[in-house]
């Protein structure tokens, strides 16, 4: 008996994954490339970006690295949007807004102006400007897909992550509004909402993540590959009728609170 070989779901897609030099973003970039997308990997760390590119090339995929510091604001975002399209040879038609400032646990009195600016700048302002820069060309070139990486922290109250949670709640809200605005124009917008997720880079914190995830129905943290699988699904044509969803990949954490 022969095993059926499934064809790549994302051939012809030109993808940009922000914050794909490490963690969940790296897994997403690898997964999109495995499914046939040409992927722009982005972040501030050139060496880490080049390493991801090498991994993708070694697996037979297509990828380019474009350095960008999303904390630098509008000009940096505009440059990333332009260079990403140039590198893949056409308008970006798959955007994954993944880059984020992950703030260590803090009480409200520990929130300073610099921290607030950095968190809202990278987690909210940058995706908003990037969507503004890329969506018109998606519309003009026949449509596209945007997947935002949210967080369960954006859907629950927490005594130690108010600021980070607020940035993620804003991204969930942008997901719904962008879906409403862009669906009639052929662009699908959704979010994946991870719970505690183990990545290669956060290995020193896996025990903490296990502890947090122990109250979820399936009792374990997710993996970056499990989050990437959800992104691949939402990016592909099998999700053609899904708009404005915030899809938890959290072992049931949100459902059971
Ligand atoms: N891991 C979890 O448990 C978890 C749970 C829920 C949600 N999430 C969400 O999942 C996403 C990825 O998290 P992760 O755990 O994979 O974190 P991570 O390993 O720290 O990755 C964050 C990425 O964002 C990039 N980044 C940070 N600041 C940037 C800036 N100023 N400009 C450009 N890129 C920047 C980093 O790239 P450079 O260092 O190269 O700049 C890095 O690639 C985030 O949106 C996070 O909120 C994670």
Distance 122 CA to ligand 1 centre (A): 10
Confirm whether 71 is domain-assigned: yes
Q: Is the CB of 25 under 6 A from ligand 1?
A: yes
pLDDT band at 138 (very low <50, low <70, confident <90, very high): very high
Confirm whether 22 is domain-assigned: yes
- Quick: pLDDT tens for 176-199: 999 999 999 999 999 999 999 999
Please state the rounded mean pLDDT for residues 129-158: 98
Q: How far apart are CA 49 and CA 173, in angstroms?
A: 30
Please state the rounded mean pLDDT for residues 112-128: 97
pLDDT band at 105 (very low <50, low <70, confident <90, very high): confident
- φ/ψ region of 183 (left if φ > 0, alpha if ψ in -120 to 50, else beta) reads alpha
What's the angle, vertex CA 215, arms to CA 211 and CA 218, rounded to 5? 100
Q: What are residue 82's phi and psi, to 5 degrees?
A: -70, -50
Distance 241 CA to ligand 1 centre (A): 28
Please state the rounded mean pLDDT for residues 197-225: 97
- Quick: pLDDT tens for 10-51: 999 999 999 999 999 999 999 999 999 999 999 999 999 999
DSSP label of 23: H
Confirm whether 6 is domain-assigned: no
What is the predicted pLDDT for the residue at 7? 77
Please state the rounded mean pLDDT for residues 2-13: 78
Confirm whether 135 is domain-assigned: yes
Distance 196 CA to ligand 1 centre (A): 13
The rounded Cα 70 to chain-centroid distance in angstroms is 14
Catalytic pick among 65, 164, 178, 253: 164
The best mutation among 18, 43, 166 to test binding of ligand 1, ranked by most ligand atoms within 8 Å of the C-beta, falls on 43
Q: Is the CB of 23 under 6 A from ligand 1?
A: yes
What is the predicted pLDDT for the residue at 4? 54
CATH number at residue 171: 3.40.50.720
Domain count within the chain: 1
pLDDT at 5 over 60: no
Q: Is the CB of 101 under 6 A from ligand 1?
A: yes
Q: Which helix (H) or strand (E) holds 63?
A: strand 62-67
Q: Which helix (H) or strand (E) holds 248?
A: strand 246-249
pLDDT band at 6 (very low <50, low <70, confident <90, very high): low
Residue 211, number of CB atoms within 10 A of its CB: 12
Q: Is the CB of 52 under 6 A from ligand 1?
A: no
Q: pTM for this one?
A: 0.98
Confirm whether 114 is domain-assigned: yes
Expressed as residue numbers, the domain containing 219 is 14-249
Q: Is the CB of 199 under 6 A from ligand 1?
A: yes
pLDDT at 2 over 80: no
pLDDT band at 104 (very low <50, low <70, confident <90, very high): confident
Which residue's CA is the closest to the ligand 1 atom numbered 43? Answer: 19
Distance 147 CA to ligand 1 centre (A): 15
What is the predicted pLDDT for the residue at 57? 98
**Torsion of the alpha carbons at 99, 104, 110 and 113, rounded to the nearest 10:** -20
Confirm whether 151 is domain-assigned: yes
Confirm whether 45 is domain-assigned: yes
> For this structure, is 164 an active site residue?
yes
Confirm whether 147 is domain-assigned: yes
């Amino acid at each position: 008996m022969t095993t059926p070989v499934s064809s790549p779901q994302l051939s012809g897609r030109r993808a940009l994954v922000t914050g794909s030099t490490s963690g969940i973003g790296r897994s997403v970039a690898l997964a999109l490339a495995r499914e046939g997308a040409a992927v722009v990997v982005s972040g501030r760390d050139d060496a880490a970006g080049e390493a991801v590119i090498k991994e993708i090339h070694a697996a037979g995929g297509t990828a380019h690295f474009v350095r960008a510091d999303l904390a630098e604001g509008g000009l940096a975002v505009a440059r990333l949007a332009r260079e990403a399209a140039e590198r893949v040879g056409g308008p970006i038609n798959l955007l994954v807004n993944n880059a984020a400032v992950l703030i260590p646990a803090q009480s409200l009195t520990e929130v300073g102006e610099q921290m607030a600016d950095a968190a809202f700048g990278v987690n909210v302002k940058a995706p908003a400007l990037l969507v503004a820069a890329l969506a018109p060309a998606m519309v003009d070139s026949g449509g596209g897909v945007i997947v935002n990486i949210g967080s369960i922290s954006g859907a629950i109250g927490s005594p130690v992550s108010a600021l980070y949670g607020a940035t993620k709640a804003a991204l969930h809200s942008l997901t719904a509004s962008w879906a409403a605005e862009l669906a009639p124009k052929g662009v699908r917008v959704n979010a994946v909402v991870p719970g505690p997720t183990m990545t290669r880079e956060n290995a020193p914190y896996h025990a903490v993540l296990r502890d947090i995830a122990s109250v979820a129905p399936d009792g374990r943290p997710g993996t970056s590959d499990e989050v990437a699988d959800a992104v691949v699904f939402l990016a592909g044509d099998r999700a053609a009728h899904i708009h404005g969803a915030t899809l938890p990949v959290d072992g049931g954490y949100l459902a059971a609170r």
